[in-house]
């Protein structure tokens, strides 16, 4: 599994929504809900980093990563845009 694989699954759920899909429900609720989830997960990452076990931190970073990818897809962006920005900063 890779970030790109996960993003491809997210895109598939965006393009072919299913009533059973949490991802599709996020897209259905719209950008404000998706952005809210990113904020919530970011806060949970901070709490886990400061006061919880490593496994909890891993779980929260996974949630933040997932919701961030949903946010990118909702805005028509991809992980490649992030990689390009990081490469630009590295030079």
- Residues 11-48 pLDDT 10s: 999 999 999 999 999 999 999 999 999 999 999 999 99
Handedness of CA 69, 75, 76, 80 (dihedral sign): negative
* Listed residue (14, 22, 7, 15) closest to 66, CA to CA: 7
Token code pair at residue 42: 């970011």
pTM listed for this prediction: 0.94
What CATH code is carried by the domain that includes residue 59? 1.10.287.1080
Structurally, the chain folds into a number of domains equal to: 1
Range of the domain at 62: 3-90
User: How many Cβ atoms from other residues are within 10 Å of residue 53's Cβ?
Assistant: 9
- Residues 36-86 pLDDT 10s: 999 999 999 999 999 999 999 999 999 999 999 999 999 999 999 999 999
């Amino acid at each position: 599994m890779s970030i790109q694989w996960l993003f491809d699954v997210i895109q598939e759920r965006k393009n072919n929504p299913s009533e059973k899909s949490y991802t599709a429900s996020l897209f259905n609720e719209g950008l404000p809900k998706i952005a809210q989830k990113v904020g919530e997960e970011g806060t949970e990452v901070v709490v886990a980093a400061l006061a919880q076990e490593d496994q909890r931190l891993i779980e929260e970073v996974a949630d933040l990563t997932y919701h961030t990818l949903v946010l990118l897809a909702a805005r028509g962006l991809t992980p490649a845009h992030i990689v390009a920005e990081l490469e630009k900063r590295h030079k």
